[in-house]
Structure 1
Amino acid sequence: MFEALTVRNFRLFAAGQLLSVTCTWMMIVAQDWLVLSLSGDSGTALGLVTALQFTPMLLLTLYAGRLADRYDKRLLLMAANLAAGVLALLLALVTFTGELRLWHLWVFAALLGVVNAVEAPTRMAFVGEVVGTTLLPNASALSAAYFNAARVVGSALAGLLISRFDAGPVILLNAVSYLASVGALLLMDPDRLHRGARGPGRGGVVDGLRYLRGRSDLVVPLALVGVIGMFGFNFQLTLPLMAKTVFHADSASFGLLASALAAGSLLAAFATTGRRSRPSAVLVIGSAVAFGAMTTLSALAPTFAVALVLLAATGFAMIYFAQAANHRVQLGTDPAYRGRVMALYTLTLQGTTPLGALLTGWLSEHWGARTGLWSGGAVSLCAGLLALWAHRRGPSAPAPKPGPLRRRPSDARR
């Protein structure tokens, strides 16, 4: 289960990420609570902040993937973490002054989205560079495990700290925590990284898209991830609204809802640590169907306690699907294109969120938080069933095995 942790560089990377991501989830809870407090529990306002945070990923992620394939991923991650720390520090200072307005949160969300557009695909591709192809599924699952462990702890702590100390200290703590990620990256041994060839030139994004042409084994999971990412993965928006407007809970109880989702996600991450081969298309599609069904049921939960149980099951299905899709795409991709392909994965998973967040926010404000949540689950369920029907009608041809690149004369200029 923990085989990737035998690699020293990965131990450092995971430790730095665990601390930093825990504090990041604390800040996310604080940010959402501030938005609802300043807007009078407006779903539209919360949807706009979410959209602003993810719009840069829609616009910039493919170019960030090109950067990850060409330049030192370790240095790119250091720069991204330092930039995120500075932004969090500025937001904390504004919060402490008592002059915080909604537009401050909008600007912060947009700028943080620019940083995340570079950091997310670079981090995904860097994991393979740290442990190599053989340990990549295990390292990817462990990455999801520490991410969701951080989500459990961070969400629960945030609710308690906000109710006791307010949101400012929580955001400041997150700003300081980015130093843990930077420190871990500095302590790594660069000579032990499994680095592929990097080359100068232009046309990288086009090359990445051309590589995907004809690879239905990659395109189908990417499309499914895009639909579910747009409509189903809007918990940052729907859970605060469910907590405040459906269950009339305080910040601590909201933290419990977020922690329940994360606890199920953590179990799913550990369940996938034993994977050593590329998952099948049926496994990816089946987990998508399960996620859609559990999300819909969560929206219909009659009590807070039932919601906690159903959200835990939803979190399990969510990460099991995301991990299966991630492994199917990564393990079917030539390492020389992995940065660009994972940038497209990030784009389809998170870059489509602005559109879904605005729609979900509007639905939640006009028809209630339950509608915003169950509509995302219903769309995800339909997408999974449609993909299953299409797969059974005409299963995709076996994917070609990644091999050494054969460069055309024109490629030398890229």
Structure 2
Amino acid sequence: MPLPHAEAAPTTITKASAGPAVFALAMGGFAIGTTEFAIMGLLQNVTAGLGISIPAGGQLISAYALGVVVGAPVLAALGARVPHKYMAIGLMAMFTLANFSSVLAPDFGSMLVTRFLSGLPHGAFFGIAAVIAASLVAPTRRAQAVAMVMLGLSVANVLGVPVVTWLGQNYGWRLMFLAVALIGAATILLILRWVPFQPVHQEASIRRELGSLKRGQVWLALLTGVVGFGGFFAVYSYISPTMTSVTGLPEAALPLVVGLYGLGMVPGNIIGGKLADRSVMGSIYLVMTAIVVVQLLFWAAAPVPWLAVPLVFLLGAAGSSLVPALQTRLMDVSPHAQTLAASLNHSALNLANALGAILGGLVIAWGLGYRAPALVGAGLALLGLAVAALSGWLERRRARA
């Protein structure tokens, strides 16, 4: 169905002109993905440079995630009256300045603040980028346009993270933040050049955006993401010790394993967009089922290297293929507040990250071994599938009524 938001794309926008605009927005996703994940590979360098312990350094990761959760709804609501192009530029400017501040942060306290500030525009940028991208293409290609924006996040795991990690290890960890800031600045220039201006909806307001939170379907879609995607993170959070302790791979092979996961995210994102354009809810049902199956296969095959390693690729593909459908679903069930709804998806995914990591850690702490998180992941994905099924049933019942 076409976007019900009044900010439909002007008729002068063609497929050819939409491509550069989507690329510019995807570049922002690339910058965000690089800063979010590269710090994990440089954590020992960062903690040594700041003179803190590894557990304390983990707070830098948590601070970023907290910034995402807080910033997504707040900034999306506050920017309700700002034209989408200018909102995207403002959010990327905030992101760029925050990362540049991390280059100059003299101690742990100030670094904690800059990491929180870096996370604030994350969800709101992806939300506004998704709305812009969807408005630039035909209604039958909305989810694919959203997927292309999210592809920047996937490519960051394959290209951006390894490159800046190498830079940080060889030339100083602060270069990672400088590189991200430069990518952010380039993104601003690309948005200025290629993203078309669209006037803000005359009825747009903070109250209108927040009104989406009164819709039960919005909360069901968010819960689907938190629970279902939590299963994905339950496994990925502990992939390194699983591959070394259970699969028996040497530590030197871990970059290959993580790279396979990132490579899986790229086709997963593209396939997820195509599936969601055929049927958003059908895509969620199918992908959730695939996540359950892949998790169970990984649990069974973890001790066998030639089976476990390819399944890491499938884990990345299955998880990332869910994101375009969830993003599009939130935009559909909140037609008059799409920016806030799409932004909240990233708050949900960060909560899923925390939920999966906590539950996966619990079963390991209980002595059930490093394979146990895969069973937790399958259970969470199955629960997410049940929430999605309830959402679909309620929608069909309302349509019949």
Partner of 2:63: 52
- Which of the residues 113, 136, 143 maps onto 1:137? 143
Q: Is 1:171 paired with 2:177?
A: yes
Partner of 2:318: 317
Q: CA deviation at 1:379?
A: 3.6
Specify the code of the residue in structure 1 equivalent to 2:251.
A
- Which of the residues 148, 157, 167 maps onto 2:163? 157
Q: Would the aligned equivalents of 2:273 and 2:325 in 1 still touch at CA under 8 Å? A: no
Mapped partners of 2:285, 2:66: distance in 1: 27
Mapped partners of 1:46, 1:240: distance in 2: 18
Q: CA deviation at 1:116?
A: 1.8
**What is the TM-score of this pair, normalised by structure 1?**
0.75
Closer/same/farther in 2, CA of residues 298 and 153 from structure 1, 3 Å limit: farther
**Deviations 1:255-283 (Å, cap 9, x if unpaired)?**
43332122212112222454574625343
Q: CA deviation at 1:75?
A: 1.3
Closer/same/farther in 2, CA of residues 366 and 53 from structure 1, 3 Å limit: farther
Closer/same/farther in 2, CA of residues 169 and 60 from structure 1, 3 Å limit: closer
Partner of 1:203: 207
Q: Is 1:338 paired with 2:338?
A: yes
Closer/same/farther in 2, CA of residues 19 and 286 from structure 1, 3 Å limit: closer
Closer/same/farther in 2, CA of residues 69 and 256 from structure 1, 3 Å limit: farther
Q: Would the aligned equivalents of 1:92 and 1:172 in 2 still touch at CA under 8 Å? A: yes
Specify the code of the residue in structure 1 equivalent to 2:90.
A
- Which of the residues 14, 18, 21 maps onto 2:22? 14
Partner of 2:130: 124
Which runs of no fewer than 5 residues in structure 2 stay unpaired? 1-12
Mapped partners of 1:79, 1:391: distance in 2: 35
Partner of 1:62: 73
RMSD: 4.0
> For 1:253-292, what aligned pairs fall within 5 Å after superposition?
253-275=253-275, 277=277, 279=279, 281-292=281-292
Partner of 1:108: 114
Mapped partners of 1:294, 1:207: distance in 2: 38
Q: Is 1:380 paired with 2:380?
A: yes
**Deviations 1:184-207 (Å, cap 9, x if unpaired)?**
11113635x4x5614365533541
Specify the code of the residue in structure 1 equivalent to 2:40.
D
**Deviations 1:367-399 (Å, cap 9, x if unpaired)?**
69936843651342331454477589x564266
Q: CA deviation at 1:29?
A: 4.2
Closer/same/farther in 2, CA of residues 239 and 93 from structure 1, 3 Å limit: farther
Q: 1:70 is paired with a residue of what secondary structure?
A: coil
Count of aligned pairs: 382
Closer/same/farther in 2, CA of residues 303 and 340 from structure 1, 3 Å limit: same
Q: Would the aligned equivalents of 2:270 and 2:321 in 1 still touch at CA under 8 Å? A: no
Greater length-normalized contact order (CA 8 Å, ≥ 6 residues apart) = 1
**What is the TM-score of this pair, normalised by structure 2?**
0.77
Q: CA deviation at 1:181?
A: 1.0
- Which of the residues 84, 87, 97 maps onto 1:86? 97
Closer/same/farther in 2, CA of residues 249 and 303 from structure 1, 3 Å limit: farther
Mapped partners of 1:65, 1:372: distance in 2: 38
Partner of 1:405: none
Q: Percent identity?
A: 14
Mapped partners of 2:171, 2:67: distance in 1: 32
